Amino acid sequence: MSVVDTHFESKASTDMRAWRVLGASTFAFTICFAVWMAFAILGIPLKKQLHLTDTEFGLIAATPVLTGSLLRVPLGIWTDRFGGRPVFFCTMAVTVIPIWLTGYATELWQFLVLGLFVGIAGASFSVGTPYVARWFPKSRQGFAMGIFGAGNSGAALTKFVAPVLILAAGTWTIVPKVYSIAMLVTALIFWFVSTSNPAHRSAGAPGLAAQMAVLKDRRVLRYAQYYSVVFGGYVGLALWMPQYYVNQYGFGIEHAAFLAACFSLPGGMLRALGGWMSDRFGAYRTTWIVMWIALACFFLLSYPVTDFVVHAKDGPRTFHIETGPVAYTALMFVVGVAMAIGKASVFKFVSDEFSANIGAVSGVVGLVGGLAGFLLPILFGALVDLTGVRTTCFMLMFGATAVSLICMHFTFQPKH
């Protein structure tokens, strides 16, 4: 066999391993994200059972997001040092028992404590991102991370599966049991299908002090800010939308969850498109367009149900303004597409400028985005309890997006 043939065979083998890692990681992340978002559905029957306010509902739905966010930095650093395969597997394995025990909780504090442990599953993003990225050349990292990030569609998966399980069993307690078994099986599949490359660990582990020092870079804070809108907003709205449909339009849990998936599904699946667009057109231009689209949609969604009278020359005229369920779902679909693209474009910034510390930097960016996803449902609920207006959640998102656009304009110059 010639040297050329040997090189070609080696390259083909490497490519096959890369795609196998990408496939296994994406599947595992999808299940992790489905588990991470499960309290958005469980919270609906729990709100009635525990007599929760809107603020308390936001808290119980968002609690898993807190630990899933806080652990992204250490898990990202451990991935750089020890490799993605063992860290990813352990991240899934430690959540199996807490997920199962959730089905036996009866008090609010018990759901909150178990939710903190279940939330570890959400930190898998900062493990899979550097793990996957290092298997691909820089010119294709945006696309590869976009495919992996499509695991966000687990939010839609849980909106399809959880209501069906609840209706079939007649109780919400079946969901944690099924999800616990699913997580265990997924962890085992991931371990046997994926593989490791020791070179990735040595290349990405310059030491803890060096890894943390790069986090002082202003660019990291800038990208974290963008991500708090496109990912934090996605998580917050994905948690909030099912009960929004129930309370705003009077839908049942299965109908509400299905329509909410119209936002969650494109918000996850089209992340690969965002990776391709970022590779093709640049991260700055892609992110800029995404922000403007989201701003326009949030402006339209923010307007509350309104009746007003205009005194015309031929007498008073009464007008009624309301965003019905069809228009609402269509606008949220557009927001979901925009956020999917934006999530990928932000991490294209990271892979381009921090290739040696993708784990640490992606961990911080993911941390800020995840914390936004934790805080937003609580703020959404507090605004509803305070004002009685349900569209205040979109008013808040409009303001956050506007601030990010202003900061992006004044603090970043695109490369020409």
3-class secondary structure per residue, 199-241: HHHHHCCCCHHHHHHHHHCHHHHHHHHHHHHHCHHHHHHHHHH
Residues 6+ apart with CB under 8 A from 375: 62, 232, 236
- Terminal-to-terminal C-alpha distance of the chain: 46
Which pLDDT does position 143 carry in this prediction?
77
Give pLDDT tens digits along the chain (416 positions): 444 343 433 444 447 888 899 999 999 999 999 999 899 899 889 988 999 888 898 899 889 989 988 887 788 778 878 888 999 999 999 999 999 999 999 999 999 999 999 999 988 988 988 888 888 887 777 778 878 878 888 888 998 899 999 988 989 999 999 999 999 999 999 999 998 877 666 444 555 565 566 667 788 888 888 899 998 998 899 889 998 998 889 898 888 888 888 888 887 677 778 878 888 888 888 989 999 999 999 999 998 888 888 888 788 888 888 888 999 999 999 999 999 899 888 888 887 777 766 766 777 787 888 889 889 999 999 999 999 999 999 999 999 999 889 888 887 655 44
Is the pTM value of this prediction over 0.85? no
In order, the DSSP letters of 241-279 are HHHHHHHHH---HHHHHHHHHHHHHHHHHTHHHHHHHHH
Tell me how far apart the alpha carbons of residues 40 and 38 are, in angstroms, rounded to a whole number: 5
Tell me how far apart the alpha carbons of residues 123 and 120 are, in angstroms, rounded to a whole number: 5
Residue at 151: amino acid letter: G
Q: CB of 34 within 8 A of CB of 161?
A: yes
Q: How far is CA 235 from the centre of its chain?
A: 5
Which pLDDT does position 280 carry in this prediction?
85
Which pLDDT does position 10 carry in this prediction?
41
Which pLDDT does position 237 carry in this prediction?
93
Mapping DSSP to helix (H, G, I), strand (E, B) and coil, where does residue 319 land? strand
Domains of the chain from N-terminus onward: 3-411 (1.20.1250.20)
Tell me how far apart the alpha carbons of residues 35 and 13 are, in angstroms, rounded to a whole number: 33
In order, the DSSP letters of 55-120 are HHHHHHHHHHHHHHHHTHHHHHHHHHHH-HHHHHHHHHHTTHHHHHHHTT--SHHHHHHHHHHHGG
Residues 6+ apart with CB under 8 A from 209: none
Tell me which residue of 114, 124, 34 sits closest to 363, measured CA to CA. Answer: 124
Which pLDDT does position 403 carry in this prediction?
87
**DSSP H/E element including 318:** strand 315-321
Residues 6+ apart with CB under 8 A from 198: 83
Residues 6+ apart with CB under 8 A from 218: 411
